Amino acid sequence: MKLRCSGDFDRNSGDRMEAREIETEQQANRNVFESESNLGDVDSHRLLQIQGNIDIDSDEGWLDTDERFPPVPLVYDPLLAKEDLRRANQAPNSVTRLRLAANTSNQLPDPIHHQLKIVESKIYSLRLRAGALKLPDEVLSVILEYAAHNERFTWQCFESMFIAMEISRAITLTHVCRRFRSLATRIPTLWSRISNASHLGAISACCERVTNSSVEIFLHGGRWRPATNVAPFLQATIAHSDKWNVFRLGDDPQPMTELLDDEEIEDLARETHNLQVNFLTEISINYPYTITSSTNVRPQVPKDSFHYYSTWSTPRLKSFSIRHLVPIPFSGSASLTTFKARARPERGIRLTPICPSYTVQGENYQLIVLVEFLSTCPNLEFSSLEILSLPTVDSSPMPKYHEFGSIERMKFHFANCEVSSLKSFFDCISFPNVSSLDLTLQMPYDANISIIEDGFRAIIPGAGRFPRLVTLVSSFDSYARHLNLPPYVEDRDINIPFSVFSHVQNLTLTLHDFGISESVLLDGLRWRGQGDAMGLR
């Protein structure tokens, strides 16, 4: 507040000056009042929103940044003095409120920032909701399907574990809102892959939500114990076996750690005995290579338990694959179009026979069982046989001669196999209608190259072995007997009898650690003529 003091002055001029000052002061007061009214309303509104509900009268204007009291002449004015005293006596109340406001303002940043985050979150949610509201059900269903599925599959984890993760995400989506739940529960691919890596509640939910016959069952054991044991898992899923389309035991990428224990194998055989799976089209059994190891003898487990599938009724079965175990004939063999038998341990590990350890018969017996199984598959179109380690056969009888006229495509992969065993085996079988053959031969890194050459001749002695062969893809390779590689051996030329390819139109040779002499290659090309194709890598 400013004080203006005046001494002796001319009364008329003083009156005129005082009149002008009073008029100026009145105009200033009006301007200040208008601005203060606006600011006062804003300040009061803001203060009412903070903690404590501070209510400072707008006409007091203690929060104004401008000067509240304009200068006035210091003249005798009892009324103004009384007003000044009144306002001065009320000032402590405003001081108290201002102190409260000052204390409260120190606490304002946290709730303001919290409210800011809430508002920003609401903006983001509103935009997301607006985007979802504009999407038709068909498009939103595709988005939900992609949201649940994994982006990629890596060999470090079991496929069944990824399936469990996908099911968990799908269930989470059903908890977002009513529309998400309605759409997600009607997407078959979210619930059609079921593994015992999921909990029993999730397994039951999948079985209830699948409406067609497209269920894929994944069963595994090994180092990472599943969330649901074999028996409860099978009991929950067998109740919906009319929806089974694929059954897989063990995960293909890591077959060596997928062995079920004795109790689990017996549970599997018991729970699935005489199982009716009318819409099952594929069975994949991936036993680990340790099932054939002499250190893994399991006499307490009946051997039929390993062939649990043989009691199933599978009228629509098309594909059957098995690893490290020779299958036995069963009712589903008659409808098979694809068969794969694999015995493929990792490099550097001792190669083991394909026969299971619980048998006492020799290799001939296992070959007989294999040929007998193939003979029960009259509709077979493609067959793949991979055997690593087939020692010399004994003098016991070999399989009877069988001709497999329905097979059109074959794949063979042999490693560490004695030539006499290969010759005895292929002399007992014939594939007159095979038009495409994929043949891979491997030998120890430091062995004689004649193993590859003689092995090739044992399988394809002449054009009559595969009279309708059109496409041949052949690969010759070597492997180390142990993890430590032997000294490097220079490339050795291999002698391929091109005369056996009289009907072949497309030939692809892949050579690792081997070469082929130019004279043999040129003679083969001249013999093949101008119209044929040949690839060499």
Reported as a single tens digit per residue, the pLDDT across 138-171 is 999 999 999 988 665 555 566 788 888 999 999 9
3-class state of residue 393 by DSSP: coil
Q: How confident is the model at residue 63 (pLDDT cuts 50, 70, 90)?
A: low
Q: Quick one: tokens of 49?
A: 């929103």
Percent of the chain as helix, strand, coil, to the nearest 5: 45, 15, 40
Whether the CA torsion 170, 171, 174, 176 is positive or negative: it is: negative
Q: How confident is the model at residue 77 (pLDDT cuts 50, 70, 90)?
A: confident
Nearest residue to 215 via CA among 247, 235, 192: 192
Residue position matching structure tokens 């001709």 = 403
What is the C-alpha separation between 336 and 353, in angstroms, rounded? 25
What is the C-alpha separation between 171 and 168, in angstroms, rounded? 5
In degrees and rounded to multiples of 5, residue 96 shows phi and psi of -60, -45
What is the C-alpha separation between 197 and 194, in angstroms, rounded? 8
What is the C-alpha separation between 63 and 105, in angstroms, rounded? 13
pLDDT at 373 over 80: yes
Q: Which helix (H) or strand (E) holds 509?
A: strand 506-511
Question: What are the strands, taking DSSP E only, across 233-329?
Answer: 244-249, 282-286, 319-323
Single pTM value for the model: 0.70
Reported as a single tens digit per residue, the pLDDT across 12-22 is 444 444 455 44
CA angle 75, 78, 81 (to 5 degrees): 85
Instruction: Provide the Cα torsion 318, 322, 326, 329; round to 10°.
Output: -20
Of all residues in the chain, the percent with pLDDT exceeding 70 is 67
Reported as a single tens digit per residue, the pLDDT across 470-514 is 999 988 887 755 555 555 555 577 787 777 777 888 888 888 877
Out of 2-16, 102-116, 453-467, 522-536, the most confident range is 453-467
> What is the model's pLDDT at position 122?
85
> What is the model's pLDDT at position 331?
92
CA angle 81, 87, 88 (to 5 degrees): 85
